[in-house]
Amino acid sequence: MSTHSLHFGKVAVLMGGRSAEREVSFMSGNGVLSALRAQGVDAHAFDPAERDLSDLKKEGFQRCFIALHGRFGEDGTVQGALELLGIPYTGSGVMASSIAIDKTMTKRVWLSEGVPTPRYVLLKNTNLGEAVQAQVLQTLGLPLIVKPAREGSSIGVFKVLQASELPQALQAAAQCDTDILCEQFIAGDEVTCPVLGEGDNAQALPVIRIVAPAGNYDYEHKYFTDDTQYLVPSGLPEAEEKAIQAHVLQAYRVLGCKGWGRVDVMIDGQTRQPYLLEINTSPGMTGHSLVPMSAKAAGMDYEALCLHLLRNAGLEHPATQEVGA
C-alpha cells in the first residue's frame, strides 16, 4: 500500500450528477480517478445521481474529490451534505459555492468590493415581454450576452447582435433557468485565470488566452473540437497579466473560495480594462480543461494537481465531538 493510500484512506471521486453538465463531469471525474489511482490512492467512482450520498458514510469513504459541475454539485448542495456526513471534500464550502454558481449574486458581491464586471440586467423567465426587452436594450446596448444565471460550460449562452434576436435568446435561456442574466458585451481578448489555495495563501496560476474560431467559445469548442487555441504563456504584457491575476485573487477571496477555482475574464480591446465574467468553483478536469493546462505551465502536472487538491480537502465545520457524547 502506498503512502498516498495510507494518508488519504478510501476516496470517492464524485462525478456525473444531475446537472446539464453531467457528460462533462464524467470526463473530468474519470481523468481524476485515473490520476489518483496511478498515484496509489484507493479511489472509486461515485455518481450521486445513481446512488444515495449516505452510502459514502456506510462504505467508509474518508474523502471526496468533487468532479461534479453545475447544479447539485457546484452549488453548495453536495458540499452541505458532506458537511453533515463529516466527510472532507475538495474545493469551496457551502456559502462560497452557492454564491459562485449564481452569476448575478457573484456580480453583486464583486461590485460591492470594486471588482470590475460587465453591466447587467437580471430577468425572470415569467416576465420577458416587450417592455422588459426594451429596458435591456436601452441599458446594455448591442451586442449583448444572454445566459442562464446558474449554468456553466456555455450552456444556454447567446450573443445577441440585433434587437430581433433578443426574444429567441431569452426564451432559449429560460429553458435552462428561472433567472436570466443579460450582460454588456465586452469586445476584446478572452482569458481565464485559475487560483489554488485559500485566503492570503491563495495563488493565481498563469493566465491562459483563448482564441476560438470566429470568437465563438461555445460548448462544442470547449470540449469536443481541437479548433480552439489556448495560449499559455498568454502573450499579454507582463503588467497586464499581473493586473488580471490581482483582480482574480481579489474576486476569489471576497467570495470566500478555497481549494481551487477559475475566473473567466474579458479584456476590453480599446481600453485594455479587464472585466470579470464569472468564477467556477469546480472547474473542468478534462483533456481540454484549462486549470490543468495552466498548472502544467507553472510546473505542476495533472497527477500532481489532483493530489494537491485532494490533500487540501477539508470541512468548514469539523465536528469537535459526537452529539450526545
| Cis omega (within 30 of 0) for bond into 143 | yes
First to last CA, the chain: 34
Q: Is 153 a catalytic residue?
A: yes
Cα dihedral across residues 304, 310, 314, 320: positive or negative = negative
| Cis omega (within 30 of 0) for bond into 233 | yes
Q: Is 71 a catalytic residue?
A: no
Q: Is 280 a catalytic residue?
A: yes
Given the residues 16, 98, 278, 294, select the one marked as catalytic: 278
What are the E-state strand segments in the chain? 10-14, 42-46, 63-66, 120-124, 144-148, 158-160, 179-184, 188-198, 203-204, 208-211, 229-231, 258-268, 274-280
Q: Is 76 a catalytic residue?
A: no
Given the residues 280, 282, 289, 294, select the one marked as catalytic: 280
Given the residues 256, 259, 284, 302, select the one marked as catalytic: 284
Q: Give the CB-side neighbour count of residue 292, counting CA atoms within 13 A.
A: 16
Q: Is 223 a catalytic residue?
A: yes
Q: Is 98 a catalytic residue?
A: no
CA Rg value for the chain: 20
Given the residues 28, 92, 153, 294, select the one marked as catalytic: 153
Given the residues 21, 47, 177, 183, select the one marked as catalytic: 21
> How open is the CA angle 124-104-295, to the nearest 5 degrees?
140
Catalytic residues: 21, 153, 223, 262, 264, 278, 280, 284
